Amino acid sequence: MNKKIIIIIAGLAVAMIAGTAMLIALISNLVSGGSSVGFGDCAVCAKIAELNNERAEKYVYLEENRTSMGMIDETYALRDIETVELQLQMLGEHDCSKSVKKVEDMEFNYKNYAGTYTGECRSGIPCGEGIFTGTYKLNNAVVYEYEYSGEWSGATPNGNGEYEDYYNNDFGFVYKYYSGGIKNGVRDGDGYYYFKNQYFSRECINGTYENDVLIGQSDFIEYDEYGEMSDRGVVEGDEFTVVASERREYEKQQQELQNQQIQQWQDDLFASIGNSIIDGLGDYLAGDSGGSYYSGGSGGGSSYAYSEPAVDNSAAIEEFESLAIYWEDEYYRLLQDDPQCLNYQTKDAEYNMNYFRRRARELY
Ligand SMILES: [Zn+2]
């Protein structure tokens, strides 16, 4: 009989221990937030969670209606988001007294991204070090992906960290990577920034950011679509405007070189045309060699006219006139794009036109 009682008591004790263990598990689950929600009993964290959900809803609403809403409605929607963001920013300073719990693949929404969070939490809110991975799909066509790894507070990336931001639609994709100081989810502090689309990619090294904007200048390296380095230099401002570029400098030098070559080619051509006419003229000049006759330059023409008035130089005149016409056509053609006659090509054409006209006149 005693044995039976002992067994019953022992059984009850086991049941009690098991019950207590279950209760402890339940309490700890509530405190840590388990794998879903649960903000412990911190009112501030509960408020952060509520605002975070509100933010997510507002971001999704904006993305889904952006194309159909007018500018005023969009402004209101953005202001709505800003109001929630500001409240979250204020609560980001919240120094929670609840203990840090590590969670794994906890369901979490950040902005319009739905995903999971793995890392440190307080009262069920990302707080401390953690990784969030989320996606968002618009009309089953436009895909957004976001991953952040680093420090969190107020359910928002705050501190040091790195993020990858990817966006893809029918027209192409944009991939962004940032590593450095983060404040309220955006670049703030010293950081490295990289972005890529289907055409090219660019690294921005040693930049300093304030509220997502590049302050001052940053060195950059650019790569073409095949990943080959295509440029290097300096960018500045919120648009990452290129202010110094090795490629542009090289292209400028090449252009100058090309201009010099064109000028040289024109000079050579001009000289050869002149010589061929002079040589050709020799044939029309009875008993005189072209070379010696023309050594005096253009003035020689008239001296010849006086010394040999009987010679028929109509063929030479015709050749000079046809060249004058050729350069006149060229001159008016170039004037279409250069009405002020500022380019050397236009100036040269004008000079050649006048030169051959004068030479023809001198032979009359
Ligand atoms: Zn708290």
Long-range contacts of 74-77 (CB under 8 A, 24+ apart): none
Hey, which residues does 146 pair with through a beta bridge?
134, 165
**What is the C-alpha to C-alpha distance for residues 166 and 200, in angstroms, rounded to an integer?**
15
Mean pLDDT value across residues 109-128: 95
Residue 106 confidence (pLDDT) above 50: yes
Centroid of ligand 1 to alpha carbon of 313 (angstroms): 106
Same domain? For 254 and 227 the reply is no
Give me the pLDDT at residue 359, please: 85
* Structural domain includes residue 8: no
User: 105 C-alpha vs ligand 1 centroid, how far in Å?
Assistant: 20
Lowest mean pLDDT among 206-220, 232-246, 272-286: 272-286
Query: Does 235 lie in the same domain as 258?
Result: no
Are residues 127 and 44 part of one domain? yes
Strand ranges inside 53-141, DSSP E: 101-110, 113-122, 125-138
Under a CB-based contact definition with an 8 Å cutoff, are residues 115 and 133 in contact? yes
A 10 A CB-CB count for 285 gives 16
24: confidence class by pLDDT, cuts 50, 70, 90: very low
> Does residue 121 form part of some domain?
yes
Average pLDDT over residues 130-158: 95
- Is residue 158 within a helix (H) or strand (E), and if so which, with residue range? strand 156-169
Report which of 359, 352, 328 is spatially closest to residue 267, judged by C-alpha positions: 352
267 pLDDT more than 90: no
Asked if residue 364 has pLDDT above 80, the reply is no
Q: Kindly state whether residues 205 and 58 are assigned to the same domain.
A: yes
Is the domain of 137 the same as that of 213?
yes
Tell me how far the alpha carbon of residue 96 lies from the centroid of ligand 1, in angstroms.
4
pLDDT of the residue at 153? 94
Does residue 203 sit in the same domain as residue 278? no
What is the span of the domain harbouring residue 127? 33-239
Q: Does one domain contain both 70 and 105?
A: yes
Across 289-300, average pLDDT = 41
Does residue 17 belong to any structural domain of this protein? no
CA atoms within 13 Å, Cβ hemisphere of 359: 26
**How high is the mean pLDDT of the chain?**
83
Q: Which residues surround ligand 1, an ion (CB under 5 A)?
A: 42, 44-45, 96, 123
What is the whole-number distance in angstroms between the Cα of residue 41 and the centre of ligand 1?
Answer: 8
181-226 pLDDT, tens per residue? 999 999 999 999 999 999 999 999 999 999 999 999 999 999 998 9
| 244 within a domain of the structure (yes/no) | no
pLDDT exceeds cutoff 50 at 66: yes
- Burial group, residue 274, by CB count within 10 angstroms (0-12, 13-18, 19+): middle
Q: Tell whether 137 and 286 lie within a shared domain.
A: no
Dihedrals φ, ψ of 284, to 5°?
-85, -15
Dig out the tokens for 263 from the structure: 């000028």
CA of 37 relative to ligand 1 center, distance in Å: 14
Pair 309, 199 in one domain: no
Q: Count other Cβ atoms within 10 Å, centred on residue 71.
A: 7
Report how far ligand 1's centroid is from the alpha carbon of 291 (Å).
Answer: 102
The pLDDT value recorded for residue 127 is 92
The per-residue pLDDT for range 147-163, each reduced to its tens digit, is: 999 999 999 999 999 99
Domain count, the chain: 2
CA distance 291 to 315: 18
Contact assessment for residue 61 and residue 74, using Cβ atoms and an 8 Å cutoff: no
Distance 30 CA to ligand 1 centre (A): 14
Do residue 204 and residue 305 come from a single domain? no
> Could you tell me if 119 and 268 lie in one domain?
no
More confident: 300 or 237: 237
**Most confident stretch, 17-21, 223-227, 279-283:** 223-227
| pLDDT (0 to 100) of residue 283 | 54
Query: Is it the case that residue 338 has pLDDT exceeding 60?
Result: yes
Res 126 pLDDT > 60? yes
Q: How many residues does the chain have?
A: 364
Query: What amino acid is encoded at 96 in this protein?
Result: C
The answer on 187 and 60 residing in a single domain is yes
Domain boundary among 239, 264, 284: 239
35 Cα–ligand 1 center, Å: 18
Report in angstroms the alpha-carbon separations of 52 from 56, 57, 73, 233: 6, 9, 22, 40
Identify whether 20 is part of a domain: no
Going from the C-alpha of 29 to that of each of 35, 41, 101, 168, 284, the distances in angstroms are 9, 13, 10, 39, 113
Residues 6+ apart with CB under 8 A from 216: 208, 236
- Name the band, by pLDDT with cuts 50, 70 and 90, for residue 28: very low
Q: For residues 250 and 220, is the Cβ–Cβ distance under 8 A?
A: no
Among the ranges given (163-172, 185-194, 270-279, 289-298), the one the predictor scored with the smallest mean pLDDT: 289-298
**How far apart (Å, rounded) are the C-alpha atoms in residues 230 and 263?**
30
Determine, yes or no, domain membership for 27.
Answer: no
Average pLDDT over residues 278-297: 47
Domain-located, residue 45:
yes
